[in-house]
A and B are shown apart, each in its own frame.
Chain A
Amino acid sequence: MPIQDYKTAAETIVQFLKLLTSHGRLRLRYRITAGAGAADPHGLEAREIYIELSGPDAPLLLERDGELLRAMEHIAAKLVHLESEEHDRVSFDAENFKALRAQELRLRAETAAATVLRTREPFPFAPASSRERRLLHLVFRGIAGVETASVGEGAGRMLVVYPAGYDRASYTPPAPPAFAERGRASGRREQSRAPRRR
């Protein structure tokens, strides 16, 4: 459901940001856009409220792949009572992080699609949040010859890319813990070994 009252939602987010800049001592400036002006030019987020952050502590938001930015975004979405699948209606950004992220996702999607088309085997991405998976699903919509689905449960839920028409029931995705170990060992986010088939 779209955000009903932009003014109230924006005021709630401003109160949250004020807490962070006063009691939290984060040196941040912010600009909030709501409504049509907040739309994502890349079409990846269904955003209705867009918060652009700047200031001396903006780089802090982007450390560890935007961990603090995402944390603030998550809390803000909760504060305006959005359900998990609607979280991208509120979007925080700093130093063009989202646009660069969109570019990166597109590149990762194209690389994964090329692998799937070449090998005719499914390609599992690392477990990711529903927001990240949704972004990837959207990126894959524009790529012919492959299909995507989210598989697994909870924190281990991941996006898998299949060749178009592939028998998905025949594929067993990697178990999340082993997946994480392999990812750490190889220093990569995605697993690129040939997936197991039943």
Chain B
Amino acid sequence: MTDQVNNALPDPTQTLIREIARALVDDPDAVEVQALVRDESTVLRLHVSDADIGKVIGKQGRTAHSLRTILSAVSMKYHHRYTLDIVESGEPPARPSLPQE
């Protein structure tokens, strides 16, 4: 299975997660959401500044859990599965790959 980075127009869910994250953090300019399109699902990789990682995870992971709950409901509306990865500092960004022929 090959991941493809969506470099076209942002997926609406990508925008949704990015805008919510931007409103949650202290450094909104550092927020980036990468969409990795797989066969029947899309992984949204949320990057924030190191100082803001706690803001998007929350105490006992409750903010991250809430974001995933919202994304799960939105998945139903789009009839497509979206999952959220919060990328910890030091993890490299996903590299684009060519679609398989």
Contact = CB atoms under 8 A, between A and B. Distances in A.
Q: Do A and B come from one complex?
A: yes
A103 interface: no
A12 B22 CA distance: 12
Contact of A74 (B23, B62, B76, B78): B62
A60 B66 CA distance: 15
Nearest to A69: B69
A136 B24 CA distance: 29
Contacts of B86: none
Interface in A122-151: 129
With a 10 A CB-CB cut-off, give which of B59, B66, B74 has the most chain A CB atoms: B66
How big is the A interface, by class? 20 to 34
Interface stretch (A17-25, A164-172, A178-186): A17-25
Interface of B is mostly: helix
B24 A25 contact: no
Interface string B65-78: 11101100110111
Contact of A71 (B12, B55, B60, B66): B66
A23 B15 contact: yes
B74 A67 contact: no
Contact of A15 (B15, B23, B63, B78): B23
A5 to B, nearest CB: 16
A70 B58 CA distance: 14
Determine the interface band of chain B, counting residues with CB < 8 A from chain A: 20 to 34
B50 interface: no
**Most chain B CB atoms below 10 A, which of A15, A71, A72, A84:** A71
Contacts of A26: 73-74, 77
B67 A75 contact: yes
Interface in B61-101: 62-63, 65-67, 69-70, 73-74, 76-78
A57 B76 CA distance: 11
B30 interface: no
Interface of A: 12, 15-16, 19-20, 22-26, 57, 60, 67-68, 70-72, 74-75, 78-79, 84, 129, 154-155
14 contacts: A12-B23, A16-B20, A20-B70, A23-B74, A24-B12, A25-B12, A57-B77, A60-B73, A68-B73, A71-B65, A74-B66, A75-B24, A79-B23, A79-B24
Given A26-B74, A57-B77, A75-B67, 5 more contacts: A23-B15, A24-B74, A25-B74, A26-B73, A71-B69
Interface of B: 12-13, 15-16, 19-20, 23-24, 55, 58-60, 62-63, 65-67, 69-70, 73-74, 76-78
